[in-house]
Amino acid sequence: MMCVCVFVYFGQMARVCWWFYFSKVIELSDTIFFILRKKNSQLTFLHIYHHATMIFNWWAGVKYVAGGQSFLIGLINSLVHIVMYLYYGLAALGPHMNKYLWWKRYLTSLQLLQFFIVTMHTTCNLFADCDFPDSMNAVVLTYSLSLIVLFSNFYYQSYLTKKTKSI
């Protein structure tokens, strides 16, 4: 099995990783605003865990391993966030947009697909001859597995249990 593994300390990919890290700092601000506005219904364990840990994970990624593997994870996550913020932007336009927002379930599926791709790629890199440190691969693998568990639970609670309750 062939795995793509590029490891660059300096250069363009490292800069892109830094900007991605900076975007995670901005995303954490929405959690802070939820707290300040006392919107506790939007503060789930998943939300707080994900946003708080992304700051530390990406700080370490940018400081120690900015480049190939980190770049791929940031690229995939950025694509998912484009779709996610499109959804939230449409939802913010008001209730008349609800008829166009039937695809929220698929957005969660896309997030899960992202974590499965990262998990497979990271697992592959653990067995490949790759300059990306195995210790960081282990951290990424553990983190992506934790997100699979948490997002799967969210999917189950949001889309599967509500359907069986209404039947």
- Annotated catalytic sites, by residue? 50
Burial per residue of 20-57, b for 16 or more beta-carbon CB atoms within 10 angstroms, e otherwise: bbebbeeebeebeebeeeeeeeeeeeeeeebbeebeeb
